[in-house]
Amino acid sequence: MKKSQFSLLAAGLILAAPAMTPAQDAAPRELPSPVPPGQKVLLTVDGTPITEGDVRDLFVARFARQFQQMPPEQQQMLQPQLEERIMSELISKTLLLNAANKDGYKASTEDVDKSLKEIAANLPEGATIEQFATSAGMTVDKVRQQIGDDMKIRQLIDKVTGEVAKPEDAEVKKYFDEHPDEFKQAEAVHASHILVSTQGITDEAELAKKKAAAEGLRAQLIEKKGENFADLAKAHSDCPSKAQGGDLGEFGRGQMVPEFEKAAFAQEIGAVGEMVQTQFGWHIIKVTEKKEAKQLAYADVKTELTENIHDERKGEKIQTYLQDLRGKAKIEQPGGAPAAAPGGADAPAAAPKAPAEAPKAQ
């Protein structure tokens, strides 16, 4: 069952605070657009402008990495939907921020500083806030501003949803009984890996060097019985997971390339496995936990399910509130022409579902 993650909007509005993993991704290319780069005003929401810069900030922070991994034909097909989603989210955020400012909500310098320090503490080793901001296409001041906006909006959200009641036990049990498939725990493993990449290499001598390097790392792991796995992964792995000591998290069947999956599910807990070759290169795997497939008991999920249903209701409350704001708002294109707000605020909030997928091994 997916852990509840009620944020600004359970139905999909994502705050513009950067969510990229810095320092490990190449700078994303800009969202293709027929409009030249700049700060051209695209819409005003009750007089507050939404600019091309705002669109690019949200695109870079939230969508760039996934978008640039798509083939060109898929980018072309999905671009209109992505642009509409971004604009809809910016309109919703602007409406909420205006409402929060009108109600007098504040974000103190101390609270913003604390949040910025929390972000810094979670960065990969050696990365700075400045690098984090740059990777999201922003300045540190812009990040601070967005953190402050986020805080004010969350205060407003807390007020709007403050009277949403938690579901009664009977309601929670009814949902559990009527959705048994959502409470099946699939077979899963929790594993780490070290990748010695061979992608793009065709020279046999170079490939042999890569294999020898992987064998050398495995020998060091065997000598230490895997106790130095995270340290070696941070120092030598070619996978972005090196920032987490090679930890890939928990994943089920069908979520990794076949060779990697077969090895991980067959491997004993705590053991350093034989090297595994995939299209990405040579992998050394260490499994830290295994879960068998089973039907979860109500007692095991009651607390989390109660929170999820409660959060879903909060999301519905926010959707209703946003619909009201949109209905009263004056949304215009430059020159005073009324503009149809893209998307809407009436997307249903997500109900509790099966566990989220882990990333493909790389």
Same domain, 314 and 288: no
| CA gap 62, 359 in Å, rounded | 17
Considering the domain boundaries, does residue 24 fall inside one?
Answer: no
Give me the mean pLDDT over the 321-338 stretch: 86
Bridge partners, 193 (sequence order): 285
CATH number of the domain enclosing 60: 1.10.4030.10
Residues 51 and 147 occupy one common structural domain: yes
Q: How far apart (Å, rounded) are the C-alpha atoms in residues 16 and 150?
A: 8
- 16 in a structural domain: no
Query: What are the residue ranges of helices labelled H in the chain?
Result: 52-58, 64-68, 72-102, 109-121, 129-135, 140-161, 169-178, 204-223, 229-236, 258-266, 298-328
60 versus 236: the higher-pLDDT residue is 236
Query: Partners of 196 in the beta sheet?
Result: 282
DSSP calls for 99-115: HHHHTT----HHHHHHH
Residues 148 and 47 in one domain: yes
CA atoms of 158 and 318, how far apart (whole Å): 10
Whether 359 maps to a domain, the answer reads no
Do 153 and 45 lie in one domain? The reply is yes
Residues 155 and 202 both lie in one domain: no
Question: Using the 8-state DSSP alphabet, how is residue 15 labeled?
Answer: -
Report the pLDDT value the prediction gives residue 104, as an integer from 0 to 100. 96
pLDDT tens per residue, range 333-359: 887 666 655 554 433 333 443 333 333
Residue of 6, 1, 96, 2 whose CA lies nearest to 310: 6
Mean pLDDT for 62-77 is 78
